[in-house]
Structure 1
Amino acid sequence: MMDNTFIHILLGFLVTALVLTFLIYTRRRPTPIPHTTNIDIPEKSRPIPPSYPLKSYTPTQIAAIGRFPSYASLTGVPPPTPYHTFNITTAKPRPYRPFRWAYHQTMALTKLEPDWWLELESTYVTRLSQRQNLLEKHKEKIIDRFTDINDNWRVEVACTELMEMVVEFLSLRYPQYFDLDTENLVFWNKILGRRFELKGVDPLHVVFENVPEDFAIVMPDEGKEGKYVFVAGMICSSVGWDLQEKIGKVLGDIHAVVPEYKEKMGMSMDRYFSKLTTDKPIQRGSWDIVIGEPLFMCAGEELQKIRGVQDPNIKEEDLTLRVDWQTLRRLPLSGGVVFNYKALFTPLREFGDEPGVPALVEKVVKEGNRKIIGYKGIWHVEHVAVPMLERMKREQVERGVWEEGRDVKTLEESPFYRGWEEKWRRQQGF
């Protein structure tokens, strides 16, 4: 009897708290922007709309909001913490190890860490130069737009707000290297020693010239039953396909070659995108084992030539883990969804002092879903990678950092490994 009374009292308190919270929230909510004419509103008096995760804005409302609104208020995602100890010359990317067991085809999503939406590291200048050379060579295969959809004006809005979110993030996260003047619409990149005008320029090119990551914007198209269409972006880190081949296609067609996508993920992917809110950005990672550091390669004879043979001359030091670390978030004004990823390369020999990683990767490569492993194209390096992983696992058993016969499963520290931060900091000198 006493227990039931206590439970009833507790439930009463919870209900009362929820009601009070609702009343406070609704009273404090800002008034939505009315449908007004396009006027120039001073910065201090500019009305900031409420953070409606799936709110639809009109062109007039977006014009009234103006350039560089508070994206933290619009999205519900806090701004990044300034990273004052960051040193671009020594910075290493965090050691993402997105391996899973049991291994099957899923989206494998986790909540985005706002501080790490865009992650710079010591290859910054080299990678930007490499990407610029690829753009000059391949042009529309790298950057393009598709506007043949309903409400095509949203495509340009999406490109502009992406650019604004990117340069704002850089200036807040790395203030020692970037400076943003929102009044005069100027962005300074002190690493490159360059000044970027942000008015009257192509926003995608501004992003491309400052961030060595790929971006793809997708939007629902009522002309295609509300399915999400790839409408704009820059893809400079893909192996096996290019932007020109995918632009204008719906998600299902883009991922048609992915094993089990249609059966297991097709409908759920469009459903997930339709429900994704601005305050729930996510992250995930995909991986591959490659030779060297191939950044960009179209499908065709060159790729098949590499993946179609097991070269007996490959050495252990030639093998690299490629991780494509990805994030996904809703853009607040256009309603588009932006997908971005960075290609990170790590010598496979690094696994030697990463507890449990060799055993996990060996398990996945040897026993994982053969359709998925085949799609990755790992076969062409298995003759070197598998013996290497087996040896590193044995060495970890001998050193006592891994137990013989231990069940192999996704690491508790995923997407990292036990002790990763100590090693990561040591490699950067702090």
Structure 2
Amino acid sequence: MSIMVTTFLCVAFIVVAVLIVWKKRRTWFIRHALGQSGTSKNLLAGIDSKDFTDYFALTGVLPPKPLPDFDIDKALPRPYRPFRWKYHQTMSFQAMDPDWWLELECTYRERIAQRKRLYAQHGRNIIDMMPGSENACTELAEMVIQFLCVRYPNQFSLDSSGIFHNRILGRSFDTKGVKMPLELLLENVPEDFLLVQEDKETGLYHFCAGVSASAVGWNMSMKIGKALHDVHGPVPYYKEKLQHSMDRYFVKMPCEKPIQRGSWSLEVGQPLYMQADDIHWAARSVQDPNLDINDIYLRVDWQTLRRLPKSRAIVFNFKALFTPVIHFREEPFIPHLVGTVLREAEKPFMEYKSTFHIAHKVIPALEVWAQEQEEKGWVPKDWASRTLEENPFYPGWQLHHRY
């Protein structure tokens, strides 16, 4: 027995040593390829400013693959379908693909204009920051600019004088003179960015700054300054099942391991930003018999989470994407899976997602479409609902995607 134990320990030691060496060599390769000081013209194309920090090297996250032939007017968002069954309360994190930290697509101009209008109307309910978060906000803006210039080299560039050029909108921004980096994000990226920082006294992470033009039922003034468990107060079972593990995760989260997840809801129309005093809010608590299935949309908030290397703040960013529910008819397994979730998930989950106002129209349609897919042979007749292997997508999704 002692020989077996000794052998096992030796093997385990060798495996751990190999992993450590591999990780160090991977980090060295990234930093060597990018250049520890200054930037690499090959990998950081479009960034001429020598004063700009090389965040790919600093974080250990690989740069995205450049898209020199990208066409913003033809690009379709990836068809995220983050449906799970059985539906348990977990954060359902996955490793983030570095290519897709920020995803631009054909609604870009429309969304940027909409977000600017919302900010003009609602002010600090859209953008706000607490004292002490300034460095984190600036660092985030720099990381975003660097990513955009590398991923979309024909659409964005940063010149040697620090001017950031957005060729989609035909605008330029002086990054050295920006007093409010979150405004720069609002005017160039159709995503929300929420920053949290550690409270040195309690060790807990608090919501300290953000730009949020995609909020439904909440706004910046309701959340800023609060600890994570208070921010997530309305989430079912958060305190019982998630609070401890989430607090611990945020403390230990490394820069080199960004993550992603998806949240979904079913909406009438495409409400990007809606508050409880909106005239349409009351409609979420009633079932309109005249509601047209063509007016119901899947809303997916595709989210990523990563640590900033210098400030050590953590940024949570997400993009709201809308898809007509009628598209489910052509997506294998999705009608069956979504129908099961709507019918059988625990009541607190569905109440939190506010599905009551659409259920009377969506559930019958999903049942018809699920039957059609079985008859076509797309789905086995005895298939039991489960999380798809393609999650967060569906089988054959590439046929419906263009980027």
Checking the alignment, whether the CA contact within 8 Å between 2:38 and 2:54 is kept in structure 1 is no
Which residue of 349, 355, 363 maps to 1:378? Answer: 355
Q: CA deviation at 1:85?
A: 2.9
Checking the alignment, whether the CA contact within 8 Å between 2:85 and 2:341 is kept in structure 1 is yes
Amino acid corresponding to residue 193 of structure 2 in structure 1: F
Unaligned runs of 5+ in 1: 30-43, 49-65
C-alpha distance after superposition, 1:328-367 (max 9, x if no partner): 0000000000000000000001111111000000000000
C-alpha distance after superposition, 1:269-300 (max 9, x if no partner): 11111010000100000000111100001134
Q: CA deviation at 1:22?
A: 5.1
Q: 1:191 to 1:391 in 2, by over 3 A?
A: same
- 1:369 has 2:346 as partner: yes
Name the SS of the counterpart of 2:214 in structure 1: coil
Q: 1:316 to 1:22 in 2, by over 3 A?
A: closer
Q: Which has the larger radius of gyration?
A: 1
Amino acid corresponding to residue 71 of structure 2 in structure 1: N
Aligned residue runs from structure 1 range 99-118, under 5 A: 99-118=83-102
- 1:344 has 2:321 as partner: yes
- 1:176 has 2:157 as partner: no
Which residue of 265, 288, 291 maps to 2:265? Answer: 288
Question: Aligned partners of 2:324 and 2:58: how far apart in 1?
Answer: 40
Partner of 2:377: 400
Partner of 1:124: 108
Partner of 2:17: 18
Partner of 2:72: 88
Question: Aligned partners of 1:287 and 1:321: how far apart in 2?
Answer: 7
C-alpha distance after superposition, 1:56-106 (max 9, x if no partner): xxxxxxxxxx94211111101011110123210011100000000000211
Question: Aligned partners of 1:19 and 1:168: how far apart in 2?
Answer: 32
Partner of 1:409: 386
Question: Aligned partners of 1:179 and 1:358: how far apart in 2?
Answer: 43
Unaligned runs of 5+ in 2: 29-34, 40-49
Partner of 2:304: 327
**Identity rate of aligned residues, in percent?**
48
Q: 1:303 to 1:271 in 2, by over 3 A?
A: farther
C-alpha distance after superposition, 1:198-232 (max 9, x if no partner): 01212111111100100000001124x11111101
Which residue of 191, 213, 222 maps to 2:200? Answer: 222
Amino acid corresponding to residue 15 of structure 1 in structure 2: I
Aligned length: 383
Which residue of 191, 210, 221 maps to 2:168? Answer: 191
Partner of 2:283: 306
Q: 1:226 to 1:421 in 2, by over 3 A?
A: same
Question: Aligned partners of 2:181 and 2:117: how far apart in 1?
Answer: 19
Name the SS of the counterpart of 1:363 in structure 2: helix
- 1:244 has 2:221 as partner: yes
Partner of 1:73: 57
Name the SS of the counterpart of 1:79 in structure 2: coil
Q: CA deviation at 1:16?
A: 9.5
C-alpha distance after superposition, 1:400-429 (max 9, x if no partner): 10122211100110000100012213xx6x
Question: Aligned partners of 1:355 and 1:345: how far apart in 2?
Answer: 19
Partner of 1:266: 243
Question: Aligned partners of 2:195 and 2:339: how far apart in 1?
Answer: 35
Checking the alignment, whether the CA contact within 8 Å between 1:295 and 1:343 is kept in structure 2 is yes
Q: CA deviation at 1:303?
A: 5.5
Partner of 1:419: 396
Which residue of 167, 189, 192 maps to 2:145? Answer: 167
Q: CA deviation at 1:380?
A: 0.5
Aligned residue runs from structure 1 range 6-85, under 5 A: 15=14, 18=17, 46=37, 67-85=51-69
Q: CA deviation at 1:387?
A: 0.5
Question: Aligned partners of 1:177 and 1:361: how far apart in 2?
Answer: 37
Name the SS of the counterpart of 2:401 in structure 1: helix
Q: CA deviation at 1:184?
A: 1.2
Name the SS of the counterpart of 1:265 in structure 2: helix
Q: CA deviation at 1:13?
A: 11
Amino acid corresponding to residue 220 of structure 1 in structure 2: E
Checking the alignment, whether the CA contact within 8 Å between 1:111 and 1:281 is kept in structure 2 is yes
Q: After the TM superposition, which segments of 4 or more aligned residues of structure 1 sit over 4 Å from their partners?
A: 7-14, 19-26, 44-48
Name the SS of the counterpart of 1:328 in structure 2: strand
Checking the alignment, whether the CA contact within 8 Å between 1:110 and 1:284 is kept in structure 2 is yes
Amino acid corresponding to residue 68 of structure 2 in structure 1: H
Q: 1:8 to 1:317 in 2, by over 3 A?
A: same
Question: Aligned partners of 2:317 and 2:346: how far apart in 1?
Answer: 26
C-alpha distance after superposition, 1:14-62 (max 9, x if no partner): 7399389759959x98xxxxxxxxxxxxxx99599xxxxxxxxxxxxxx
Question: Aligned partners of 1:258 and 1:10: how far apart in 2?
Answer: 43
Name the SS of the counterpart of 1:230 in structure 2: strand
Question: Aligned partners of 1:270 and 1:110: how far apart in 2?
Answer: 18
Amino acid corresponding to residue 292 of structure 1 in structure 2: G
Amino acid corresponding to residue 67 of structure 2 in structure 1: Y
